[in-house]
Amino acid sequence: MKVKGKDNIVNLLQVKNFTETSADLYFYGDIVSSWWGAWDDTDQYPSSVRDFLNEAKGKNLNIYINSGGGAVFAGMAIYNMLKRHEGYKTVYVDGVAASIASVIALAGDKVIIPANAYFMIHKPWTSAYGNANDFREIADMLDKLEEGILNVYKEHLVDGVDIETIKEMVANETWMTGEEAAKYFNVEVGQAIEAVAYSGEMLNKFTNAPKILKEQMNRVHEQSLAEYRARLNFLKLKGGMIDE
């Protein structure tokens, strides 16, 4: 069983990613609402980002993203905090910026997406239970969330691209490479690099996720499981104990 540590900000500071003029911020897991929902050290949430930005006040930011998204309200809060940050923000999409992570990516003053990285936009969704009235309210809420997301996208469109085009792409869960994303959004196409495998849980929930991304994620999970089993066997041999 995982034992949670302190805020992710502690780990970030320990790797000394601050200089006198800049700071590095990583979104390499899922976007969650709070510390309680961060089941992996790579997950990010608003209060953690807030604390990071307080430490990085006035500094330029290098923001690295490899995330399948997550909680919409949390992602919107993070986007707004990043937009308010006083410092030049360069965003690098190292592997994937999907769902609400695509919104966070657009908080940068410069957004660089390599030709072999992915940018995905889709309609917000949720799981729920209740009666017909409850579901109507939930549908209305999802429509409002989509409106807010589209407002962000609209601010970052290439000249000549109509928001109605983006609405259709959102409705169809559209995955784009860096080159494709640059046709619609004000982003730069970076040189293709070795893609960083995404280890979060969101990809399996998407309909149109590229096969190569799912294969990478499965390999990461298999490797993590193999490492866990090896550690467990080692502890058994040594007569140690491990919580499960």
Domain ranges of the chain: 8-199
Average pLDDT of the residues of the chain: 82
3-state secondary structure of 107: coil
pLDDT at 215: 67
For residue 109, count other CB atoms closer than 10 A to its CB: 12
pLDDT, tens only, 27-85: 998 999 766 655 667 788 999 999 999 999 999 999 999 999 999 999 999 999 999 99
Q: Is the pLDDT of residue 222 over 80?
A: no
Active-site position among 67, 102, 122, 156 = 122
C-alpha distance from residue 42 to each of 65, 71, 107, 127, 229 (Å)? 11, 15, 20, 24, 21
Q: Catalytic annotation on 48?
A: no
User: In this structure, which CATH number among 3.90.226.10, 1.10.10.10, 1.10.150.530, 3.30.1370.60 belongs to the domain 8-199?
Assistant: 3.90.226.10
Q: Catalytic annotation on 34?
A: no
Please state the φ and ψ torsions of residue 226, each to the nearest 5 degrees. -65, -40
Question: Considering only CA atoms, which of 103, 79, 93 is closest in space to residue 179?
Answer: 93
Q: Is the pLDDT of residue 10 over 70?
A: no
Active-site position among 99, 102, 156, 199 = 99
| Cα-based angle 138, 144, 145 (whole degrees, multiple of 5) | 90
pLDDT at 150: 97
